[in-house]
Structure 1
Amino acid sequence: MKITVAQINPVIGDLSGNAQNILFAAKKAVADKARLLLTPELSLCGYPPRDLLLNPAFVEAMSMTLQQLAKELPADLAVLVGTVEENSKAHIAGEKPLYNSMALLQQGKVQQIFHKRLLPTYDVFDEQRYFEAGLQANYFTLDNVKIGVTICEDLWNDEEFFGKRNYSINPIAELSKSDVNLVVNLSASPYTSGKQHFREAMLKHIAMRFEKPIIYVNQVGGNDDLIFDGRSFAFNKRGELTCRACGFDTDLLQLEFNEQKQDLDIGFITPDYESEDEEIWQALVLGVRDYVRKCGFSKVVLGLSGGIDSSIVAAIATAALGKENVLGVLMPSPYSSASSIKDANDLAVNLDIKTTLLPIEKLMQSYDSTFTELFANTEFGLAEENIQSRIRGNLLMAISNKFGYLLLSTGNKSEMAVGYCTLYGDMNGGLAVIADVPKTRVYSLCRWLNRNEQVIPLQVLTKAPSAELKPGQVDQDSLPAYEVLDDILQRLINDYQSATQIVAAGHDAAVVNRIIQMVARAEFKRRQAPPTIKISDRAFGTGWRMPIASNWLIIKNAYQSETLSTPTFPSPEQ
């Protein structure tokens, strides 16, 4: 039996467009003599549809589109399509109105409906808000092959692999008892760095444990802050990788189920990425491309400071959209060094993007004049520094409004974590491209990008990072070295370590306490930030749900010592 995997990139809510993509894949599958076509979770509406599911008209339209798609599909091809199904028991107290489902379409009709059994409610997932869990094992028979159907999370509960169960049932174990010949898993699994290796290790274990071949189908594309990396794959029952689709792009993957061997034959395996930097780069490029496209934009604008953050964002945008669709804006102040202006221009030449120059000195003088009386007898400080950032933010927003360009903000995760950023200034934008990329990773990405030719000017990589808001300023006036800061933040944010554990790892207690306080106090800023492209398992945004008015991180999580010294760096903007 020939099987085609349609690794598609749906637009959320574009029911007609998504159906056409499925139909196109079906016609290609028939041309390749396939008998079964597999599509990702919620492929008809795109994942995640979130509160669109609360709109009855949207749910009704999805049902009508599914029925129409069934009529248009080739009659002799069986197709699994991700959709939602209304819960007939929704009137019962506590029952949710919908199921997250897969529909088997064949011979012009919806032949069977299968419901997702395990509903995740962690990180970015909130499926119990909308869906009722399915109660029975899902399978169907096609040409005497019994095929078990699972949907995304149904796969992620193997107690032998994880060492525990997060749910009371294991759908794969139940399907094994039903004596299925093949298991398919239809997913919309968001990307995080390194996750593909974990997925493949998990499926290899499951295939060998239950001696069942497994096909994993994943959505691809960027939807808001989430990136879906595709890389659909399959394992035979001996735990051998039999195929892998490409990453971060649509693909049609052909598989062969050998009915005599009751197993999958070895097919085409797309090579893995050579480095983590390459993988992250592909994710960020896809995230920018799809966010811009799916939000109805074609061009972007960003500020070019000559620093490393704006340089990498400009490079990502150019790769995603083409050089003709990127505008860099240089906004030097009296504190901007000549080398920074040169670095920004050199970058623009390397990328071949358009730039415009908007000096802000006269605007700064206007603000100084306005505040002369009110700010009399005070020292130059954060208020004056941040006015510069807000002037630049206003100029960029004006360009965005005037020409319909999407403004990209350029702050990295290290800065976002500790609040080293200015509300209504450098935080302005419609998309925060690298706000889940730590500063040390930004450097690593730039070095990777320069591996064959110099894209990021060498001076950008070697000079001390600085916001250049006052004479001689460098980031380390206010922050510890980024290698130190990023390790503390990794332990605190991603690894859930306490201050005591972080200090035990070798960090200075006073610095650790200060960073913890800064992370807590910056929550109000992050709440107002643009959407962040998620590349880690602990990104600011949808899956980050910290309170603003809280003293837990500041007081309760502090490292307790009678000999703590005062940190040598002051607080950024409060």
Structure 2
Amino acid sequence: MTGKGRLTIALAQDDYLVGHITGNQDRIISRIAEARDRVGADLVVFPELALTGYPPEDLLLRPGFMRRTEQALAEVQDAAQGIDVLVGHPRAEGDRRYNSLSWLRDGKVIGSYDKWDLPNYAVFDERRYFVPGDSPLVVDLKGVKVGAIVCEDTWTPGAAAAAREAGAQIIVSANASPYFENKHVERAHILRERQAETGLPVIYLNCVGGQDELVFDGHSLAIDANGQVGEPGPLCQEALLEVTFDPSGGKLHYDHWPAGQAERLPVIYEVLKRGLRDYVLKNGFESVVFGLSGGIDSALTAAIAADALGPDKVLAVMMPSRHTSELSLILASEQIAELGLRHENISIEPIYQAQLKQLAEVFGDTRENFTEENLQARARGSVVMALSNKFGHLPLATSNKSELATGYSTIYGDMCGGYSPIKDVLKTLVYELSDWRNTLSNAIPQGVIDRPPSAELAPNQFDQDKLPSYEVLDDIITRYVEQDQSIHDMVEAGIEETIARRVAGMVLAAEYKRRQGAPGPRITRKAFGRDRRYPITSGWRDSGIGV
């Protein structure tokens, strides 16, 4: 224990698997012992809903799930000896559920806090499950008044102000805050606002780990009473962080607080790695399989997979057809050798020819169109799925956000997969990440980066034959999808109206494809999937006027 008046607070920046209540309970109990016996902390804090993992979604509606959570909390409560513990869990009171923190001391619950502000936007659905609390929790620990709040309560002023009015000298915030680009900058801004309003230091603990489409990046943060924000904690890594609070001057001393990476491209790449790794391993797979084409998207996917899982866990499959260039095979082979990937070369030409022959009578003398192109993509999808079924690999889809936005992808073809690692990565960012990754070591052949992108499903085919330049396209997608701008807004910003209208129409028309696509890690403010929810059957078209 620290001397009188000074508090050492341990923060369990850990990965808590949704639904694995027993495993989470054991991890929490282990961290309690470590914080007490190794660190000598006065208080150990766990993230929002640590006991169940976040977000548990409709598991919360199962009475057995809530009963098991209560039992696990009792086990944690018994382990809370010789150190104070602040742990997140769902709490039931009759037919009402709360997103709660319990303050444990010497085997007892000495106080509970129910989250005030329940987010119900973007990826959050908390009002579906919880009712809000309205009372602050401030606990005296060694003569210091410590206030506790949960996640969204930090982003709005009410709960922190109430803690201050209740006598708090420092505020601890337990979070399950998923990543989007530059999230750590926004968190620091929010902490400055709360500190300026209350005059109090704020310690912000975040959890870690991939959960379906969300990635929790850690990057825990703190601000002292003078408004000084510390460095973000480790990125996408578990850690028991230590900070000491001196109430005499409101200062924070970072006893064990390794600074996390904060540069844009390294952060995004690490988040993509963590999302892929956790999805594979948490769902009981050990390895992945996907088509390696010699193009930029599958090349970046290969690098991420090799870095996340190890090259021996990655099976790259070259699947040439009559339209596959020799350059594609050469570049794919170069990357396989460079990364040390397991690989196969399986021509789809026999499959394609058999399908054409089988369909010849039905097709008759109709002209060739995208149907023949899609047959090739679906032949590749069937090969990938066969290898997945036979050997237990998780199949990866390799489409990027630009393709998924516009429908420039084949459903049941290149969209085929159980997970889509670059689903939320615009094409221009695919190139940026590929260039950055090569600064660490040779991972993606320069020829892949330099060549014009092509699906190679028809002679002399290039992406820009059907799409605007990716610089223009990605700007429109960012504005229309992520920022909800109208055609009018984009024209006012200098985008040609016919192009803006065409891309917007493609985005709306491709909703049915995206709904059947694989999940992938969210890295933007609005990703396709649980973040952006549009109807498939819809008569809506942007009129070009209004907001």
Identify whether the pair has TM-score above 0.5, normalized to the shorter chain: yes
Q: Which residue of 1 aligns with 2:3?
A: none
What amino acid is aligned across from residue 142 of structure 2 in structure 1? Answer: D
1:221 matched to which residue of 2?
209
Gaps of 5+ in 1: 91-96, 159-169, 561-574
Instruction: Find out whether 1:546 has 2:534 as its counterpart.
Output: yes
Deviation at 1:268, TM superposition (A): 5.2
Q: Does 1:557 align with 2:532?
A: no
Q: In structure 2, which of residues 165, 190, 204 is the aligned counterpart of residue 202 of structure 1?
A: 190
1:66-145 alignment to 2 at 5 Å?
66-73=73-80, 75-88=81-94, 90=95, 97-145=96-144
Note if 1:276 corresponds to 2:239: no
Q: How does 1:514-525 map to 2 (within 5 A)?
A: 514-525=502-513
Q: 2:231·2:260 contact (CA, 8 Å) conserved in 1?
A: no
Structure 1 segment 155-170 matched on structure 2, within 5 A: 155-158=154-157, 170=158
Q: Which residue of 2 aligns with 1:47?
A: 54
The equivalent residue for 1:59 is 66
Contact 1:235/1:243 (CA < 8 Å) preserved in 2? no
Q: Work out whether 1:530 is the aligned partner of 2:530.
A: no
| 3-state SS of paired residue (2:439) | coil
1:49-95 C-alpha deviation (Å, 9 max, x unpaired): 0000011001000000110122133x11111111111123x3xxxxx
Letter in 2 for 1:253: L
The SS at the match of 1:470 is coil
Question: Which range is displaced more, 412-421 or 505-514?
Answer: 505-514
How far is 1:260 from its partner? Answer: 3.1
Structure 2 counterpart of 1:570: none
Secondary structure of residue in 2 paired with 1:348: helix
Aligned AA (1:125) = F
Query: For the residues of structure 2 that align with 1:251 and 1:124, how far apart are their CA atoms?
Result: 26
Distance (whole Å) between structure 2 residues aligned to residue 19 and residue 272 of structure 1: 27
Q: For the residues of structure 1 that align with 2:451 and 2:258, how far apart are their CA atoms?
A: 39
Q: State the distance in 1 between where 2:131 and 2:117 align.
A: 9
- Answer yes or no: is the 8 Å Cα contact 1:242–1:265 preserved in 2: no
SS of the residue aligned with 2:29? helix
**Structure 1 counterpart of 2:419:** 431
Percent of aligned pairs with the same amino acid? 40
CA distance in 2, matches of 1:274, 1:108: 39
Tell me the alpha carbon deviations over residues 424-462 of structure 1, each in whole angstroms, 9 at most, x when there is no partner: 111111111101000000000000011143211011011
1:17 to 8, 16, 23: 23
Specify the SS of the correspondent of 2:526.
coil
Q: Say whether the 8 Å CA contact 2:242–2:254 is kept in structure 1.
A: no
Deviation at 1:241, TM superposition (A): 2.2
Partner Cα separation in structure 1 for residue 133 and residue 296 of structure 2: 49
Counterpart check, 1:464 vs 2:452: yes
**Alignment of structure 1 residues 64-463 onto 2, 5 Å:** 64-73=71-80, 75-88=81-94, 90=95, 97-158=96-157, 170-242=158-230, 244-267=232-255, 270-271=258-259, 273=261, 275-463=263-451
Structure 2 counterpart of 1:501, from 489, 497, 511: 489
Matches of 2:270 and 2:394 in 1, distance apart?
Answer: 20
CA–CA distance in 2 between the matches of 1:131 and 1:559?
Answer: 39
Query: In 1, Cα distance between the equivalents of 2:256 and 2:79?
Result: 30
Q: Is the 8 A contact 2:175 2:205 kept in 1?
A: yes
Offset of residue 530 of structure 1: 0.7
Using the alignment, how far apart are the partners of 2:156 and 2:440 within structure 1?
A: 43
Q: Distance in 1 between matches of 2:223 and 2:543?
A: 45
The amino acid across from 1:405 in the alignment is H
- Code of the residue aligned with 1:76 in structure 2: it is G
Q: Which amino acid aligns with 2:79?
A: E
Cα separation, 1, equivalents of 2:493 and 2:245? 51
The answer as to whether partners of 1:330 and 1:356 remain within 8 angstroms in 2 is yes
Instruction: Determine the C-alpha separation between the residues in 2 that align with 1:262 and 1:549.
Output: 56
User: C-alpha separation between the residues in 1 aligned to 2:304 and 2:289?
Assistant: 12
CA contact (8 A) 1:254 1:267 kept: yes
Give the whole-Å Cα distance in 2 for the aligned partners of 1:318 and 1:206. 41
The offset of 1:201, in angstroms, is 1.5
Per-residue CA deviation, residues 102-138 of structure 1 (Å, 9 max, x unaligned), is: 1112212222221111101000100011101002112
CA distance in 1, matches of 2:397, 2:482: 23
Are 2:232 and 2:260, in contact at CA under 8 Å, matched by a contact in 1?
no
Paired residues, number:
539
SS in 2 for 1:389: helix
How far does residue 374 in structure 1 lie from its aligned partner after superposition? 1.2
* Preserved CA contact (<8 Å) 2:138 2:147: yes
Which residue identity lines up with residue 412 of structure 1 in the other structure?
Answer: N
C-alpha displacement at 1:489, in angstroms? 0.7
What is the alpha-carbon distance in structure 2 between the residues aligned to residue 176 and residue 109 of structure 1?
25
Change (3 A) 1:283 1:61: same
Residues 170-229 of structure 1 show CA distances to partners (whole Å, capped at 9, x for unaligned) of 111111212211101000000001011010121023213311011101011001110000
Range 373-382 or range 405-414, more displaced: 373-382
- Determine the C-alpha separation between the residues in 2 that align with 1:199 and 1:342: 45
Alpha-carbon deviation of 1:267? 4.5
Q: Shift of the alpha carbon at 1:325? A: 0.4
Following superposition, the deviation at residue 141 of structure 1 comes to 1.5
Structure 2: runs of 5+ lacking an equivalent: 1-6
2:290, 2:384 within 8 Å by CA — same for their partners in 1?
yes
Within a 5 Å distance, the mapping from 1:26-45 to structure 2 comes to 26-30=32-36, 31-45=38-52
Cα gap change, 1:111 to 1:243, in 2 (>3 Å) = farther
Give me the whole-angstrom Cα distance separating, in 1, the residues matched to 2:544 and 2:505.
Answer: 8
